[in-house]
């Protein structure tokens, strides 16, 4: 049932979704909807012409979830907000899965981890192989971060990052690329790493006496965070975008948004 619409699942009329799920004819489906027996994302919908996104919106009839979807594994891009943990469940804290409809959250896992106070690009997928490729150091998929520091990043750090940084536990990181974003903003930098050690970016800067006060992931492979996604918003990836995730390093001609289109988080109120 699911057609591609620029690579995204094409929105489909609700009455058609019900009919194709075996709940009777389109007329039967319209009756069910008008009687208030159908909900979309937990809210009763009485308009049979309402369009839903297969595999994304959660449709239920009399409270029972309906399979709306395609066979392709679901892969989402989330703009992770600060204050949410990257875990599948937690007794106390809000997790990234809590930002998704339950039917989607049941299927996907985060491909990698961002700290509670880090925001930005997080991939969630039910494709185990893709997940493995994105996080395995063997595949060396680049991850690019924007960081704000509590001091100035000296140009000498560029070479130090390129050589690999010895962390507090003695581990020496793989070579990383450090770019001082703007000379007039020496407290901001971009960092590209190909591995994901615990608190890696914070610990790399800490090795030089700098504290990260804000951190955002901008890119994985050649795929940039969609600047149209506000923190907490997500969308499915197209097939082409999944390919970009695995294309590494960023190929010539693949460029990201300039910093002006990705607004920096406020400097206050963020502590690590
Ligand atoms: N490095 C960090 O220190 N934190 C993150 O969330 C990601 C990379």
How much is the average pLDDT of 85-110?
A: 92
Same domain, 232 and 110: yes
Same domain, 85 and 61: no
Residue 116: inside a domain, yes or no? yes
Residue 156: inside a domain, yes or no? yes
Same domain, 116 and 233: yes
Q: Report the candidate in 36, 62, 67 with the shortest Cα–Cα distance to residue 52.
A: 67
Supply angle C-alpha 242, 245, 246, rounded to 5: 100
Same domain, 152 and 207: yes
Q: Report the candidate in 143, 164, 163 with the shortest Cα–Cα distance to residue 215.
A: 143
Same domain, 105 and 231: yes
Cβ–ligand 1 distance for 80 under 6 Å, the answer no
In this predicted model, which residue has the larger pLDDT, 73 or 101?
A: 101
Residue 47 designated active-site:
no
CATH number, domain of 81, equals 3.30.70.580
Catalytic residue among 15, 47, 62, 115: 115
How much is the average pLDDT of 229-256?
A: 78
How much is the average pLDDT of 112-138?
A: 94
Structural domain range at position 50: 4-66
| Nearest residue by C-alpha to atom 4 in ligand 1 | 199
Q: What is the pLDDT of residues 12-58, one digit of tens each?
A: 899 988 877 767 678 888 999 999 999 999 999 999 999 998 878 89
Centre of ligand 1 to C-alpha 142, Å, is 13
Q: For ligand 1, what atom is nearest to the CA of residue 115?
A: 6
Cβ–ligand 1 distance for 248 under 6 Å, the answer no
Longest dimension (CA), the chain: 71
Q: Residue 261 pLDDT > 70, yes or no?
A: no
Q: What is the pLDDT of residues 131-166, one digit of tens each?
A: 999 998 889 999 999 999 999 999 999 999 999 999
Centre of ligand 1 to C-alpha 260, Å, is 22
Same domain, 131 and 238: yes
Residue 266: inside a domain, yes or no? no
pLDDT for the residue 272: 28
Q: What's the chain's average pLDDT?
A: 85
Q: What is the pLDDT of residues 5-18, one digit of tens each?
A: 444 567 889 998 88
pLDDT for the residue 31: 93
Centre of ligand 1 to C-alpha 201, Å, is 5
Listed in sequence order, the DSSP H helices in 21-124 are: 26-34, 102-105
Same domain, 95 and 115: yes
Domains in the chain, number: 3
Q: What is the pLDDT of residues 56-71, one digit of tens each?
A: 889 999 998 887 765 5
CATH number, domain of 164, equals 3.30.70.1560
| Nearest residue by C-alpha to atom 2 in ligand 1 | 199
Q: Residue 86 pLDDT > 90, yes or no?
A: yes
Centre of ligand 1 to C-alpha 98, Å, is 21
CATH number, domain of 21, equals 3.10.290.10
Q: For ligand 1, what atom is nearest to the CA of residue 143?
A: 8
């Amino acid at each position: 049932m699911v057609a591609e619409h620029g690579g995204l699942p094409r929105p489909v009329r609700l009455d058609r979704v019900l009919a194709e799920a075996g709940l009777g004819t389109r007329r039967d489906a319209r009756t069910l909807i008008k009687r208030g027996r159908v909900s979309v994302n937990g809210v009763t919908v009485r308009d049979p012409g309402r369009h839903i996104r297969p595999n994304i919106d959660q449709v239920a009839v009399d409270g029972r979830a309906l399979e709306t979807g395609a066979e392709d594994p679901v892969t989402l891009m989330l703009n992770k907000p600060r204050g949410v943990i990257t875990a599948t469940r937690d007794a106390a804290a809000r997790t990234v899965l809590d930002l998704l409809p339950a039917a989607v959250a049941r299927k996907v896992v985060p491909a990698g981890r961002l700290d509670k106070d880090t925001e930005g690009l997080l991939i969630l997928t039910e494709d185990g192989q893709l997940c493995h490729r994105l996080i395995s150091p063997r595949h060396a998929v680049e991850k690019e971060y924007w960081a704000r520091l509590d001091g100035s990043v000296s140009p000498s750090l560029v070479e130090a990052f390129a050589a690999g940084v010895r962390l507090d536990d003695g581990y020496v990181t793989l070579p990383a690329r450090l770019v001082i974003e703007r000379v007039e903003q020496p407290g901001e930098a971009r960092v590209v790493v190909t591995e994901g050690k615990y608190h890696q970016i914070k610990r790399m800067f800490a090795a030089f006496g700098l504290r990260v006060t804000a951190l955002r992931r901008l890119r994985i492979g050649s795929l940039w965070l969609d600047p149209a996604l506000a923190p907490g918003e997500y969308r499915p990836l197209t097939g082409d975008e999944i390919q970009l995730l695995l294309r590494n390093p960023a190929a010539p001609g693949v460029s990201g948004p300039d910093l002006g289109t990705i607004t920096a988080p406020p400097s206050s109120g963020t502590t690590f």
